[in-house]
Amino acid sequence: MILSSLVLLFIIAPLAGMFINTGATQFLETVKDKEVHQSVWLTLWVSFTATFIFSVGAIPFAWLLARKKFPAKNFVQGIIDLPIVLPHTAAGIALLGFISRDGFLGKLASFAGFDLVNHPSGIALAMAFVSLPFLINAARDGFAAVPERLEKAALNLGAGYTKVFFTISLPLAWRSITTGFVMMFARGMSEFGAVVIIAYHPMIAPVLIYERFSSYGLNYARPASVFFILVALLFLIALRLLSFKRKVKYINNDAETY
Amino acid sequence: MLRLININRRLGDFVLSDINLEVSDGQYYVLLGRSGSGKTQLLELIAGLEHPDTGKIFLDDIEITRQRIQDRKVGIVFQDFAVFPHMTVFGNIAYPLRARKEDKKSIADKVEKAATAMNIRHILERSTEKLSGGELQRVALARTLITSPRLLLLDEPLSSLDTSLKDDLKRLLRNLNKEGQTIIHVTHDYGDAISLAKRVGVIHNGKIIQEGSVNEVFNNPSNRFVARYAGIRNFFKVDISREDGLFVGVTEHKVIFKLNGVTPARNNLLLIKSDSIIISNEMPADIELNAFKGKVTEITPSEFGMEVIIDAGDLFYTNILTSEMGKLRLIEGKEVWVSFPSKAIVVINGN
């Protein structure tokens, strides 16, 4: 009990300290600082877009992982978890080689007329690279929890595979998928290591906080941190609420039918 | 017509072996077996949810062994119903029609009609969350029937219903079959088999061990496993008539059953549970009882004591506790009385 409280305190204390040490005037000035709120906005929309775009491929992939047996499935699962254990700067370096002008994706982008490095699209890739496992794993667990019998019943009723996926599997796994979506979004938004290697500019909030700290010191980094945390929390709470509403409904359903 | 030829399928330790089966159009085929006998697996093979390792499946002379589930026109109603929890009753029943992209008007009409037939029209707009087992089953049945399946597969449809709902559903299934729906019904309950089947197959340890009409299977069980379905052997086909204001049933061997307090229809099957049959050395005093004089033809050990078979025109099968055996001093060839009250007779609508 005491140990648990200590652990909890360990999480709360630094954050609380930071909030307390930030003066109101300082904070308001930071909020008005165009550079700050631009970077926060950039962080939010790039992470959201990355999550959204990658979910198009990640969600069907998660379904495959939950339902199908295929050779080297454990190996594939290991690869998916790899970004979680890699040092993020190392992930950034690896990704940089891939998206710089000499890399495969970089060349493709040059053809299209833009450069991925120091560009929001590059930031999005860096965020996705380190945060994708959260969405895939959560969605996979969600699909695995949908009784396979319901999918088979739908097939038996004459629906094709795509139809079954969109009308049965996806809606029933929706709670886990939104949770995964929120986690990927949150993880992408807080990413520093991989992003700073791909793009110092345009500055996302974690990079900006680091820059303020290394150039001006703790007192200047603090208000920006507080502002970013507040905005991020607001977003997360909103998304959580959205998925929570559905959660209640599906728990009832599960209990009733299975 | 459905034909299964030499079907083999291994699932872990369990093996379905050498299944040969023919179900003609308009048939009501009951597949009888205990849990774990392989009956559900066999249904899943027919529906295409699983595939056999070897063997072939034909429906109307077209091979469907490897055909995709959604192309088979074989409807299955699962034991747990598999009603979609995130849709209303309407959404569930309309699902197959929406999958076929029918227009809204025709979907609404057909769902309405199916729901009326199943007596669930009043719950169409409800979510499936708070439906009873009986309602869920009707939803599942309506949803499958709306696809006009060539073949309807039912997995233990009666097991989760209470008695009054059971009778309703039996009536409904009988009517469906009368209208021409071919049905394969899987159950562990011989009572369901007797009351619904035109043909019965008994499945045990992954093999079909006996097959035939209800009479053939239950009157001439091919082995002890079939026979061990409790009570199934006291099974008599009778003509019902009225004598002195009392209903009686007469078998082809002229054994006359008094049917007090039962309201029989024509062409009935009578069932007497073996444990309600009493054996005595003297004629029972109570004239209300059905009592017949007969000869002990066979005494064999059973799990409850002894199984004693008495020939009183028709054969009666009884279970006698070992302690009773001593008192009665039964031996083969001895003349005894079998008796049982009218209320021990179960009247079943024969096909």
**Using one digit for the tens of pLDDT, what is the confidence trace for B85-99?**
999 999 999 999 999
Pairing of strands B305-312, B151-155: unpaired
The beta-carbon neighbor of B86 closest among A155, A160, A253 is A253
- pLDDT reported for residue A107: 86
pLDDT at B328: 87
At B264 the pLDDT is 61
- Which amino acid, residue B186? V
pLDDT band at B232 (very low <50, low <70, confident <90, very high): low
Stretch B258-284: mean pLDDT, rounded?
A: 75
Model confidence, pTM:
0.76
Residue B31 binned pLDDT confidence (cut-offs 50, 70, 90): very high
**B80 interaction partners in chain A (CB closer than 8 Å):** 149, 257-258
Return the sign of the alpha-carbon dihedral for residues B264, B265, B266, B269: negative
| Rounded-to-5 percentages of helix, strand, coil across chain B | 30, 35, 35
Q: Which of B43, B44, B49, B136 to mutate to test the interface with A (most CBs of A within 10 A)?
A: B49
Q: Using the beta-carbon criterion (under 8 Å), do B86 and A159 form an inter-chain contact?
A: no
What distance in Å separates residue A239's CA from the closest CA in chain B? 21
Q: Which residues pair with residue B309 across a beta bridge?
A: B298, B317
With an 8 Å Cβ cutoff, are B70 and A150 in contact? Answer: no
Residue A250's pLDDT is what?
A: 46
**Residue A135: its pLDDT value, please?**
96
pLDDT for residue A256: 34
Contacts of the segment B221-228: beta carbons below 8 A, 24+ positions apart: B226/B202
Task: Give contacts of A250 with chain B, Cβ < 8 Å.
Answer: 85-86
The per-residue pLDDT for A202 is 92
Closest approach of chain A CAs to the CA of B208, in angstroms?
25
Q: Which whole number is the average pLDDT over B319-333?
A: 84
- Per mean pLDDT, which range of A185-189, A225-229, B64-68, B268-272 is the poorest? B268-272
**A252 or B173: which leads in pLDDT:** B173
Does the pLDDT value for residue B122 go beyond 70?
A: yes
Residues of chain A with pLDDT under 70: 243-258
Count the alpha carbons within 13 Å of A82 in the hemisphere toward its beta carbon: 11
**What pLDDT score does B220 carry?**
63
Phi first, then psi, for residue B11 (nearest 5°) are: -130, 95
In this prediction, residue B246 carries a pLDDT of 80
Is there a contact between A158 and B49 if contact means CB atoms under 8 Å apart? no
Identify which of A149, A156, A257 has the shortest CB distance to residue B69.
A156
Cross-chain residue pair A172–B86, CB shorter than 8 Å:
yes
Contact A135, A183 (CB under 8 A): yes
Across the interface, whether the CB atoms of A156 and B49 are under 8 A apart is answered yes
Torsion, Cα of B326, B328, B329, B332 (10° steps): -120
CA distance A25 to A205: 20
pLDDT in tens, A203-252: 999 999 999 999 999 988 999 999 999 998 888 888 878 766 654 444 44
Instruction: Enumerate chain B positions whose Cβ falls within 8 A of a Cβ in A.
Output: 47-49, 68-70, 74-76, 78, 80-86, 95-96, 99-100, 128-130, 143-144, 147
To the nearest whole angstrom, how far is the Cα of B88 from the nearest Cα of chain A?
12
Size of interface A-B (CB pairs under 8 A): 73
Residue of chain B nearest A153, judged by CA positions: B82
pLDDT at position B25 over 60: yes
Question: Which of A150, A158, A167 is facing B70, going by the closest CB pair?
Answer: A158
| Mean pLDDT, chain B, integer | 87
* A151 CB burial (10 A radius; 0-12, 13-18, 19+): buried
For residue B228, what pLDDT band results from cuts at 50, 70 and 90? low
Instruction: Provide the token pair at B52.
Output: 């056999």
Closest to A135 measured CA to CA, from A77, A181, A80, A203: A181
